[in-house]
Amino acid sequence: MRNLVKRAIRGVEEATWELPLTTVQDYSLFHILVDYSIDLWKRQIELIMEKHGLMSFIVHPDYVIADGALAVYKALLGHLSSLRKERKITSVAGGLRSEGVLQRQLDQARSHRSLVDNAE
């Protein structure tokens, strides 16, 4: 299997799965493509679903801290949740696991950014 990588760690061989990133990252979507919608994510989700593939998303709290970006991320979570309820996808991990985790991360990012701004 191509995605299975064998490597030695402290003399112990272990199997590590390399999971491909299958959707655009939040930074690229918001800052390079300047797209504050879930349209591209929706198109990617449909293409992945057609092939019964794995959907993976990378979202960093620093990039969704702005209200516009946060609204887009919440819309993505809502869309994934509805697909799950319709049984079009089987599981959703990460942000849907606990919105409290996302909120804590956002609060920490805002606090850190505030400390940096005040130090300058």
pLDDT per residue as tens digits for the range 26-70: 999 999 999 999 999 999 999 999 988 888 888 888 888 887 899
**Which pLDDT band, with edges at 50, 70 and 90, does 1 fall under?**
very low
The values of phi and psi at residue 44, to 5°, are: -65, -40
Entry pTM: 0.65
Where is average pLDDT lowest: 16-25, 49-58, 96-105? 96-105
In a domain, 3, yes or no: no
In a domain, 41, yes or no: yes
**Which pLDDT band, with edges at 50, 70 and 90, does 103 fall under?**
low
What is the pLDDT at residue 10? Answer: 54
Query: Whole domain around residue 84: which residue ranges?
Result: 20-119
The DSSP result for 21-87, as a single string, is P-S--HHIIIIIS---SSHHHHHHHHHHHHTT--------TTTS-SHHHHHHHHHHHHHHHHHHHTT
Two structure tokens written together for 72: 């887009």
In a domain, 12, yes or no: no
d(C-alpha 56, C-alpha 24), whole Å: 9
In a domain, 13, yes or no: no
Q: Between residues 86 and 90, which one has the greater pLDDT?
A: 86
Instruction: Specify the number of domains making up the chain.
Output: 1
In a domain, 57, yes or no: yes
In a domain, 1, yes or no: no
In a domain, 88, yes or no: yes
d(C-alpha 23, C-alpha 36), whole Å: 15
d(C-alpha 24, C-alpha 42), whole Å: 11
